[in-house]
Amino acid sequence: MIGSVRTRVYTVPTGDPDVTEADGTLAWASTTLDVVEVTAGDSTGVGWTYGPPACADVVDATLADVVTGRDPLDVPAAHEAMVRQLRNQGRPGIGAMALSAVDTALWDLKARLLGLPLHRLLGAVRDDVPVYGSGGFTTYTDRQLVDQLDSWCSAGVSAVKIKVGESWGSRQDRDAERVRVARAAVGPDVDVFVDANGAYTAAGAVRWYDRVREQGVSWFEEPVSSDDLDGLRRVREEVDADVTAGEYGYDLTYFARMLDAGAVDCLQVDVSRCGGITEWLRVVAVAASHHVEVSAHCAPNLHASVAAATPGLRHVEWFHDHTRIEGLLFHGACTTPRDGAMPLGDAPGNGLELDVAAGREYRVR
């Protein structure tokens, strides 16, 4: 029986206090992590989401009572009960992030109770999980950018991603120059991805892509707002790169609509937002029915196990901020890819233990 649901919230400043990190449409100086621990007997499962402390508030006030007292082996029943309980508060956004944090902790708990690695409980289809390096913030100097790209290439990644669309798409010359810097840094054998975070218009995105076409950019993420499904489809028809989106998907229907619209070449899914592992498994099935591969958005250590169990997986995003935070706060976290992939361990559950002592200086509630 599930005995308790506990939350902790950590806010971790960016690594260099002199560097505010930014993409095309947002800047930030810190990242907040909401951790959920669910216990049954002597076993504890851990999950999390990256969102404001309000996510933990939703867990404490709305979801904890729904989950407590249930059979920990029946995760879908707990998930369904949580979804119903969220109805009048709104599932998309903070509600779904809270749901995801609890659901990922419940799956981890179940695996630990059964003495299985989580990827074995889910049923693995691969021996390790390929990642691509992701960061390349618009606030970086060229030197900082090249150093970051070099670090990923040294870890054997086959692709790197940088942010473009600086200042809501108003610095297109610099965007194009930074792509040239990235291509020169990684050479011809590593894929260069870009993420505009919705900064461009559809016509503007196509014109900008023409300027960097010769750099061989093979992934164009959110060239326009991911709410603009028609715009994504129009960009997709005009550029050589794969057009991708999905990081703001908070339920199955969102992803079904995106796929039905023909908006993406590769669907991005975030297990810390979409509704946890329970919903991830449904989303990737719908993607498979459209013959579209999926890529995991951010939170690499939370994704490793479920990504290993996903046949249509292309890769997991090795996001700079999250890899750093997960290494700081969790024993057992992968901090450096090996040959461009995260290895899968034999430890029960997701193999992670919250480092309460290390987290003390970052804890906000």
Reduced 3-state DSSP string for 197-255: CCCCCHHHHHHHHHHHHHHCEEEEECCCCCCCHHHHHHHHHHCCCEEEECCCCCCHHHH
- What does the alpha-carbon distance between residue 104 and residue 267 come to, in Å, rounded to a whole number? 20
Shortest separation between residue 259's beta carbon and Mg ion, angstroms: 18
Q: What is the DSSP letter of 363?
A: B
Burial class (CB in 10 A: 0-12, 13-18, 19+), 81: middle
Interface with Mg ion, residue 270, by CB under 5 A? no
Comparing CB distances to Mg ion, the nearer of 7 and 134 is 134
Shortest Å distance, C-beta 317 to Mg ion: 8
Which residue lies nearer to Mg ion by CB, 34 or 221? Answer: 221
CA distance 54 to 196: 27
Output the smallest distance, CB 196 to Mg ion, in A: 9
- Spacing of C-alpha 60 from chain mean position: 23
User: Which residues touch 211 (CB under 8 Å, ≥6 apart)?
Assistant: 172, 176
Dihedral, CA atoms, 121, 274, 70, 72, nearest 10 degrees? 10
The tokens of 146 are what?
A: 């090249």
CB of 134 to Mg ion, least distance (A): 8
Minimum CB separation of residue 324 from Mg ion in Å reads: 17
Q: Which is nearer to Mg ion, 219 or 280 (CB)?
A: 219
Say if CB 273 and CB 249 are below 8 A apart. Answer: yes
Calculate the alpha carbon distances from 279 to 96, 121, 270, 329 in Å: 10, 16, 10, 26
Size of the site for Mg ion (CB under 5 A): 1
Minimum distance from residue 46 beta carbon to Mg ion (Å): 25
- What size, in residues, is the chain? 365
Residue closer to Mg ion, measured from CB, 162 or 352:
162
Give me 244's structure tokens. Answer: 């991708």
Half-sphere exposure of 1 (CA within 13 A, CB side): 5
E-strand stretches of 246-331? 266-269, 293-296, 313-319, 330-331
Of the candidates 47, 33, 35, 34, the one whose C-alpha atom is nearest the C-alpha of residue 109 is: 47
Nearer to Mg ion, 195 or 242 (CB): 195
Choice between 104 and 134, CB closer to Mg ion: 134
The answer to whether the CB of 89 falls within 8 A of the CB of 62 is yes
Nearer to Mg ion, 34 or 195 (CB): 195
Query: What is the closest distance, in whole angstroms, from the C-beta atom of residue 55 to Mg ion in the complex?
Result: 19
> Which x/- pattern, by CB under 5 A, does the window 222-261 give for Mg ion?
----------------------------------------
Minimum gap (Å) between residue 178 Cβ and Mg ion: 16
Residue closer to Mg ion, measured from CB, 193 or 330? 193
| Of 75 and 292, CB closest to Mg ion | 292
Smallest distance, Å, CB 197 to Mg ion? 6
| Least distance CB 141 / Mg ion (angstroms) | 22
What residue is closest to Mg ion based on CB? 195
Beta carbon nearer to Mg ion, 20 or 289: 20
Q: Which two tokens stand for residue 319?
A: 């996001």
**Residues 140-199, interacting with Mg ion (CB under 5 A):** 195
Query: What residue ranges bind Mg ion (CB under 5 A)?
Result: 195
